[in-house]
Structure 1
């Protein structure tokens, strides 16, 4: 099913039909808000909506029953996608930014839509000192760490390099 754009008048008529789901011409005219257009105008728009495949018809005797073929949710999704494409280069971020800038959207409006993770950072001096004390106690009561023996060859090499640097500076 390919959804297309509706004119303002077609959209008004579809709003009536989305509320009714299916109806006869007489019921549509009754539900249409004031100022009501002429019945011939409504009939013309109904034919157009059938051609655009927004409505289906069922003939019952001499009259037609019109039923919604495109649910309101699908049309709303189509319009939002089209709107993003036309005005925001398919960037929902850009649209939300503009809504926030124009004060049409508050941070509280977005609560519950996104998963948030919190990390508690203790910035308490007492907690830090307790942590330091705990680490110190662990160090002195824990197993003894083995000292690394210095490699005599590396030590001698380091001393030689230092002596050479000192001589070069004196020259």
Structure 2
């Protein structure tokens, strides 16, 4: 399913429907923030959202029930992906650097997130992958002396293999 951008007015309406998951027109109007637009305006926006495939409709007697077809997390990930692609050369690292530079995240927060990820992945992945990650973490956190020793060993192995 292809996700499209929403206008600000469509986003307001979808934020209501994402909270409700499914609703009738009266429910949407009741949850709409002040100043509430006319019912016909809301109806027009709903029609557009159905055409964009954000909502599905189900007729119950004379009224329609509207159900969310694209979850909020999917739309959020779509926007984030476009944002990173457009402003950060498709690099999550560049986004992270910018967030750090602007003090939106602290290095300890970043460390905590990656520590949590490592713990989660260690339970889910094979021992082989865990050892690769452990080796990598050990390598980047090791003293410089140990790093130079490892580099010398690698160079010696390469020169022996070349002979």
Residue 145 of structure 1 corresponds to none
| Equivalent residue pairs, number | 122
What SS does structure 1 have at the residue aligned with 2:77?
A: helix
What SS does structure 1 have at the residue aligned with 2:112?
A: coil
Larger radius of gyration: 1
- 1:111-150 to structure 2, matched below 5 A, reads 111-114=111-114, 115=118, 117=137
Q: What is the distance in 1 between the residues matched to 2:63 and 2:16?
A: 19
Residues 120-157 of structure 1, C-alpha deviations (whole Å, 9 max, x = no match):
77xxxxxxxxxxxxxxxxxxxxxxxxxxxxxxxxxxxx
Q: Does 1:71 align with 2:65?
A: no
Q: What is the distance in 1 between the residues matched to 2:142 and 2:104?
A: 32
Q: What is the distance in 1 between the residues matched to 2:3 and 2:34?
A: 28
Displacement of 1:111 in angstroms is 3.1
Displacement of 1:66 in angstroms is 0.2
Displacement of 1:33 in angstroms is 1.3
Residues 74-128 of structure 1, C-alpha deviations (whole Å, 9 max, x = no match):
111101001111111101111111111111111122233224746677xxxxxxx
Q: What is the distance in 2 between the residues matched to 1:92 and 1:99?
A: 10
Displacement of 1:31 in angstroms is 0.7
- 1:45-60 to structure 2, matched below 5 A, reads 45-60=45-60
Residue 97 of structure 1 corresponds to 97
Give the 4+ runs in structure 1 shifted more than 3 A.
Answer: 115-121
RMSD: 1.8
Question: Unaligned stretches of 5+ in structure 1?
Answer: 122-171
Alpha-carbon distance change, 120 to 88 in structure 1, aligned in 2, over 3 angstroms:
closer
* Greater fraction helix: 2
